Amino acid sequence: MATKVAKNYKPSSKEKYMCAKHKAYFKQLLFTWKKELIEQNNRIVFNDMDDNSASADVVDQATSYTGKAVEMRTVARNKKLINKIEDAVQKIEEGTYGYCEETGEEIGLKRLMARPIASLTIEAQEKHEKQEKIFAED
């Protein structure tokens, strides 16, 4: 049976980490975020208003193309986020959500509330970013 949480519920460190309430809270948070991203993508993709791409004015055309490029980058970014959200929901189902993929340690409630798709502790994330920077400089 699925656990219900009140709308004003916030996970507490006084509760057992990733108890049923925590999982229900994060699952709801992730579903809400995913729904918002899908709605935003639909608005962008199906928004035909103010299309100056057929305008005789070259400046209007350029502005329209630039705006559409930004919108399509937003759609692509949202799709990546939706995939990460789906991965996080899968981890909740599997019982691995909230634990670092590298160390197995608890990621922490504050970090997950700020970034519900976090898969690394702050320390592991910083280490990962430092390694990326080293490889990028080579």
CB-CB contact of 118 with 112 (8 Å): yes
Quick one: DSSP state of residue 7?
T
78-to-4, 25, 26, 135 alpha-carbon distances in Å: 28, 22, 19, 27
- At residue 27, the pLDDT reads 96
Q: How many CA atoms lie within 13 A of 20 on its CB side?
A: 5
Spans in the chain with pLDDT lower than 50: none
- At residue 48, the pLDDT reads 53
Instruction: Work out whether the CA dihedral 13, 19, 21, 26 comes out positive or negative.
Output: positive
- At residue 5, the pLDDT reads 83
- At residue 56, the pLDDT reads 63
3-class SS of residue 28: helix
CA–CA gap between residue 77 and residue 108 (Å, rounded): 25
All domains in the chain, ordered by first residue:
18-97 (1.20.120.910), 98-138 (no CATH)
- At residue 112, the pLDDT reads 97
Q: What is the pTM of this model?
A: 0.80
Instruction: Work out whether the CA dihedral 96, 99, 101, 107 comes out positive or negative.
Output: positive
CA–CA gap between residue 85 and residue 69 (Å, rounded): 24
- At residue 95, the pLDDT reads 95
Quick: pLDDT tens for 110-124.
Answer: 999 999 999 999 999
